[in-house]
């Protein structure tokens, strides 16, 4: 990551930085710090002096600070004033004097099961070293590192991977990021701190048998948690999942720790942790699980007393409207998802929104990032008006919004009012909620869902749904029917994966069945319990419906305009994808490919290949870089007053290679 500088920061009294010496393992341990659980050491190669500097990590957290003040004799204030030009001189100039990198220490097992220690050399992620510089950098470091330590070069971005492809691995032994970290034993997913009782389930059958007993003080551990897991104190996964899975989005929205701990079996057996009271911490750098000597005194979490109040929706008769006719303010009649898609149509069609706001925020010591955005968009010294116009054009040319229609809340209300049996079922459920009779909630919800799915839709409602299309649904091929409630995407209540969508719909009969299924998901046992926990009244909850034409996809996924595991990182956008529909990414049916794209300095890198053996072609990765930048630009418009609040975007790439955004909402933080 390109350095951030803070003038006047105090330095330790001692500085053990070494210049010109060879690196042994004891010296490495003396100078190193720890990052993401691995010891690491910053190095600077000075090509003019033909020497290198091994930085004392505690004294010099940033390469460029050290070079400027200790090698070039600059003042930090002067460096801050010219930071971007200085960064370009050390990260992007092919004739640069200094080569900056990091050495990290790793261990794995060889083919005979023996532990092997090795070093990995890499540059910062924004570094544009070409193949010749990478080869020189590796050879220079290799000559000065203890020959008994294997040394591998890890390309920091896709550009470096492509440069290295023309160089023999015998000359430059290498390891890719997903190869190094794809099999990590412990991976943080959502930071947090919890004290609770560890409940370890080795199979889904064990979990199902105990699910009804789980409470807010439990920490649930199992290979892969189900999407309908109740609200508890923490999650632990013993099998790989991604930061954008439904369960991690829930963990993020609920503010609870979540991590992958593949060796949990060993930890549980060693310390008898199953059923024990533990302190569970997850941070960017560390995952810890500490057994407590006795049952702690616990207070109910804040959410247990949380009461979310919804703005009253507008329930008067409203027409079925095409999505492109909606705006964000229509969420009180058509639901949040439909309104956001309507707003997306407006942004793409009008091109009047200012999509540069995120880049206009001060990022000390910079006053703004407009220059970086201009570079990403291929502009040189534009006016702010030119930059805004180019950003709007870039987004409109990169992505499209889905065609479809939105059914208002009033249609659901007409349907529910048409049946005395439905009204009676709703009344029973409301009474149970008022009495907090949680023991009968599930059965009442299931009975009511069954009624909704099988009650005939009134002719007046059916006509409005059927007339929403110029031609009959039967002649339009496959449709997708999605939920659009007023009780989702709220502060403290994301509802990710709580309501139903139906992705394979043909003909009028299936369309009406799918609409009823979406309506019924509003009273599913899980959705009712989750809303009840945060004080959302059933009286205030309504469901709209989105009907879209199905678009065949060659690639689909989810992106969030942040790095979910490093919240302070304003540079990167995290993207998951797999061939086919986005649903595969979030429902856990496959492990998607994972990528990080830097939307400030540029460049991207592969985090994991998931269930797929090969990465995407370079041309496709370049298109995903454009998609990631588009997501960041849209954040400027959709994040309201807090422009740093990231977005969660479901997307697909059509068979023609176009991008469609099928959902856009705040990412739960």
Chain centre to alpha carbon of residue 28: 34
Q: Given this model, what pLDDT does residue 469 score?
A: 62
Question: Would the pTM of this model clear 0.75, i.e. be above it?
Answer: yes
C-alpha distances in Å from residue 663, one per residue of 70, 502, 666 = 50, 14, 10
Question: Three-class SS string for 358-375?
Answer: HHHCCECCECCCHHHHHH
Q: Would you report the helix, strand and coil content of the chain in percent, each value rounded to 5?
A: 35, 25, 40
User: Buried (b) or exposed (e) across 402-441, using 16+ Cβ within 10 A?
Assistant: bebbbbbbbbbbbbbebbeebeebbeebeebbeeeeeeeb
Neighbours of 269 (CB within 10 A): 10
CATH number of 186-302: 3.50.30.10
Round the average pLDDT of the chain to a whole number and report it: 89
Q: Given this model, what pLDDT does residue 295 score?
A: 87
Is 474 a residue whose pLDDT tops 70? no
Q: Given this model, what pLDDT does residue 185 score?
A: 82
Q: Given this model, what pLDDT does residue 110 score?
A: 62
Is 410 a residue whose pLDDT tops 60? yes
All residues at 6 or more sequence positions from 278 whose CB lies less than 8 Å from its CB, including other chains: 195, 196, 197, 198, 219, 289, 290, 291, 292
Average pLDDT over residues 77-88: 93
Which residue's structure tokens are 């560890």?
198
Say yes or no: do domains 186-302 and 406-543 share a fold.
Answer: no
Q: Given this model, what pLDDT does residue 173 score?
A: 97
| pLDDT above 70: percentage of residues in the chain | 93
State the DSSP H helix or E strand holding residue 271, giving kind and residue range, or none if neither.
Answer: helix 264-271
Q: How far apart are CA 526 and CA 441, in angstroms?
A: 10
* Domain boundaries along the sequence of the chain: 18-175, 186-302, 341-404+552-666, 406-543
C-alpha distances in Å from residue 11, one per residue of 43, 226, 232 = 18, 48, 42
Q: Given this model, what pLDDT does residue 147 score?
A: 93
| pLDDT above 90: percentage of residues in the chain | 67
Q: Regarding the domain with residue range 406-543, which homologous superfamily does it belong to in the CATH classification?
A: ATP-grasp fold, A domain (3.30.1490.20)
Q: Tens digits of per-residue pLDDT, 343-365?
A: 999 999 999 999 999 999 999 99
Looking at per-residue confidence, does 68 or 476 come out higher? 68
Average pLDDT over residues 377-386: 96
Q: How far apart are CA 634 and CA 358, in angstroms?
A: 9
- The highest-confidence range among 26-40, 110-124, 198-212, by mean pLDDT, is 198-212
Q: Given this model, what pLDDT does residue 5 score?
A: 31
Task: Please give the angle made by the CA atoms of 559, 565 and 568, to the nearest 5 degrees.
Answer: 95
Average pLDDT over residues 475-483: 83
Q: Tens digits of per-residue pLDDT, 395-408?
A: 999 999 999 999 99
Task: Please give the angle made by the CA atoms of 584, 589 and 595, to the nearest 5 degrees.
Answer: 55
Looking at per-residue confidence, does 488 or 309 come out higher? 488
Q: Given this model, what pLDDT does residue 586 score?
A: 58
Is 8 a residue whose pLDDT tops 50? no
Average pLDDT over residues 150-176: 95
Q: Regarding the domain with residue range 341-404+552-666, which homologous superfamily does it belong to in the CATH classification?
A: ATP-grasp fold, B domain (3.30.470.20)
Average pLDDT over residues 225-245: 88
Q: Given this model, what pLDDT does residue 132 score?
A: 96
Which residue's structure tokens are 């709220």?
490
Reduced to 3 states (helix: H, G, I; strand: E, B; else coil), residue 224 is coil
Is 237 a residue whose pLDDT tops 90? yes
Classify residue 70 by its DSSP letter. Answer: I
Band (pLDDT 50/70/90 cuts) for residue 9 is very low
Smallest CA-to-CA distance from 448 within 462, 433, 463, 464 is with: 433
Query: Quick one: tokens of 343?
Result: 């707003």
Q: How far apart are CA 417 and CA 582, in angstroms?
A: 35
Q: Tens digits of per-residue pLDDT, 530-573?
A: 898 888 889 999 999 999 988 889 999 999 999 988 878 899 99
Looking at per-residue confidence, does 50 or 109 come out higher? 50
């Amino acid at each position: 990551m390109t350095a951030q500088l803070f003038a006047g920061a105090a330095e330790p009294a001692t500085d053990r930085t070494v210049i010109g010496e060879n690196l042994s393992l004891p010296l490495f341990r003396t100078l190193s710090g720890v990052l993401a659980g691995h010891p690491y050491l910053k190095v600077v190669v000075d090509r003019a002096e033909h020497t290198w500097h091994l930085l004392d990590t505690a004294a010099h957290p940033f390469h460029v600070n050290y070079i400027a003040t200790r090698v070039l004799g600059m003042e930090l204030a002067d460096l801050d004033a010219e930071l971007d030009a200085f960064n370009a001189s050390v990260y992007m100039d092919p004739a640069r004097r200094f080569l900056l990198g990091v050495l990290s220490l790793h261990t794995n097992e060889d083919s005979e099961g023996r532990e092997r220690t090795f070093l990995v050399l890499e540059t910062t992620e924004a570094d544009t070293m070409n193949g010749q510089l990478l080869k020189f950098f590796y050879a220079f470091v290799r000559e000065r590192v203890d020959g008994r330590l294997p040394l591998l070069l890890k390309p920091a971005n896709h550009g470096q991977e492509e440069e290295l492809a023309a160089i023999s691995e015998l000359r430059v032994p290498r390891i890719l990021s997903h190869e190094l970290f794809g099999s990590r034993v412990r991976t943080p997913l959502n930071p947090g701190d919890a004290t609770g009782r560890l409940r370890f389930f080795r199979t889904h059958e064990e979990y199902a048998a105990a699910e009804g007993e789980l409470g807010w003080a439990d920490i649930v551990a199992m290979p892969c948690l189900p999407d309908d897991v109740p609200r508890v104190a923490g999650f632990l996964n013993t099998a790989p999942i991604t930061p954008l899975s439904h369960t991690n989005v829930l963990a993020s929205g609920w503010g609870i720790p979540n991590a992958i701990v593949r060796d949990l079996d060993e930890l549980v057996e060693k310390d008898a942790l199953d059923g024990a009271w533990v302190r569970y911490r997850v941070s960017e750098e560390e995952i810890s699980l500490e057994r407590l000597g006795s049952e702690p005194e616990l207070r109910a979490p804040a959410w247990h007393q949380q009461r979310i109040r919804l703005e009253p929706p507008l329930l008067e008769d409203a027409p079925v409207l095409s999505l492109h006719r909606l705006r964000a303010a229509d969420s009180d009649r058509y639901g949040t998802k439909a309104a956001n898609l309507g707003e997306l149509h407006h942004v793409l069609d009008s091109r009047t929104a200012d999509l540069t706001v995120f880049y206009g925020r001060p990022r000390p010591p910079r006053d703004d990032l407009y220059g970086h955005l201009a570079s990403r968009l291929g502009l040189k010294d534009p006016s702010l008006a030119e930059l805004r116009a180019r950003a709007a054009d870039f987004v409109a040319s990169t992505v499209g919004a889905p065609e479809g229609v939105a059914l208002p809340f009033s249609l659901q209300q007409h349907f529910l009012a048409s049946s005395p049996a439905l009204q009676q079922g709703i009344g029973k459920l409301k009474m149970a909620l008022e009495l907090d009779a949680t023991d009968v909630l599930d059965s009442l919800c299931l009975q009511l869902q069954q009624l909704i799915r099988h009650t005939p839709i009134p002719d007046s409602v059916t006509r409005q749904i059927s007339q929403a299309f110029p031609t009959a649904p039967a002649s339009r091929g496959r449709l997708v029917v999605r939920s659009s409630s007023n009780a989702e995407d709220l502060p403290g209540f994301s509802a990710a994966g709580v309501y139903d969508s139906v992705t394979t719909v043909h003909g009028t009969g299936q369309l009406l069945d799918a609409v009823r299924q979406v309506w019924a998901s509003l009273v599913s046992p899980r959705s009712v319990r989750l809303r009840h926990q945060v004080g959302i009244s059933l009286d205030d909850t309504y469901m709209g419906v989105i009907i879209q034409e199905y678009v065949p996809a060659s690639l689909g996924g989810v992106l969030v305009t942040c790095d979910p595991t490093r919240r302070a990182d304003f540079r990167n956008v995290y993207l998951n994808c797999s061939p086919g529909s986005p649903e595969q990414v979030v429902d856990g049916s496959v492990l998607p490919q994972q990528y990080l794209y830097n939307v400030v300095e540029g460049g991207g890198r592969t985090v994991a290949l998931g269930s797929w053996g090969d990465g995407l072609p370079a041309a496709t990765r370049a298109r995903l870089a454009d998609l990631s930048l588009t997501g960041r630009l849209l954040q400027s418009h959709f994040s309201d007053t807090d422009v740093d609040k990231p977005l969660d975007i479901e997307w697909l790439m059509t068979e023609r290679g176009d991008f469609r955004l099928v959902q856009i909402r705040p990412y739960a933080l």
